Amino acid sequence: MISQLKQVYGPQCIIDEIPNHPNDYYWFTDDEHKMIGIKKSITVAEKKLLSIVFNEVGSVDFNQQISVYWTEILLKNQIQLLDKVVKSQKQVRFIFFTHLFDSETKLEFNGLIKELNEAAIVLFLERKYGVILDFSMSDEYSFEEMAEAIQQDFYQNINFYQTSTYEMNEEIALNFQREYRIYTRFRDPSVLVMDSHDMALQFMIHHLNEFEGYETIWQQFLALDHDLIEVAKCYIENNFNLSMGAKAMYMHRNTFMNKIERFIALTGLNIKEFKDAMIAYLMIKSIEQHTILEK
């Protein structure tokens, strides 16, 4: 029956496809639950006949159907479904996030994302994780600003990981699953928006304890006053600029500089030089994350 429909209506008939303009079609299902779309250019008599042969569907939630397809593609490697969801898009960027949303808040979050980026698709994954499929990769808005707005709107400490862009091809599921593993394993809950460079840093932090001398340096840092650690971190994050670091800490420049010298004297790490600064920064970030996990 389906093949006969295709012969009669040709391109006016689509089977299990999601067109760009779904409202231009009448929708039916057969006994095998295949979704049949017929262009609304047919006559009233033809529509009545089709309604007798098939089950007419008053409305179809294509957004939900697309989400189901993408879940099957990305989590279950159902690559053959790509043809059903990919139209003009050539690339996609994954934006992973954590949440503690209930069902109602999920709908609100999805609606907000659609307002900010109409083409985006939100998928809620297992437990506390979700992902936004971003097909636009537009530079018209700052994702950091958008993330801050989302965090304020939902009164939750949401954490995002924005990946590189990927081609929409047979490797898409493998790329997604790899990025998902990276996010769940190495995300930094204290950072609002992370990228691949941040994740590389996180990887190094997570593997610090494989170094045999790690425990000695760890204990040395734990013995430091908290303000010395904060000053050292601020100095490094402000690209070794004393004035900018002091300003960020609301501290007099000389006081800031004296604390840096104190840090160097107590740790033996000259954070004015790149190599020692890198070691110090990794240790500081490791301590921060250990503290977060203990809370």
Q: Tell me the β-bridge partners of 194.
A: 161
Indicate the residue type of 74.
Answer: L
* Separation CA 84–CA 105 (nearest Å): 28
What averages of pLDDT result for each successive group of 10 residues across the chain (295 residues)?
84 80 84 85 91 82 80 92 79 92 86 85 90 77 76 81 92 96 90 90 85 84 93 96 95 96 94 94 86 55
What pLDDT is recorded for position 207? 85
Collapsed DSSP state (helix, strand, coil) of residue 20: coil
pTM to 2 decimals? 0.70
CB 38 within 8 A of CB 13: yes
- The CA dihedral of 128, 134, 139, 145, to the nearest 10 degrees, is -20
pLDDT at 160: 93
pLDDT on residue 139: 55
Dihedral over Cα of 82, 86, 90, 92: its sign: negative
How high is the pLDDT of residue 238? 96
Identity of the amino acid at 57: V
Tokens of 70: 């993408």
Q: What is the dihedral of CA 205, 209, 214, 215, to 10 degrees?
A: 120
Structure tokens belonging to residue 231: 């000053």
Q: What confidence score (pLDDT) does residue 189 get? A: 84
Shortest CA distance to 229 belongs to which of 267, 275, 184, 182? 267
Nearest to 75 by CA among 33, 140, 131: 131
| Residues 206/186, Cβ–Cβ less than 8 Å | yes
Domains along the chain? 2-60 (no CATH), 64-204 (3.30.70), 207-294 (1.10.10.2840)
pLDDT value of position 141: 57
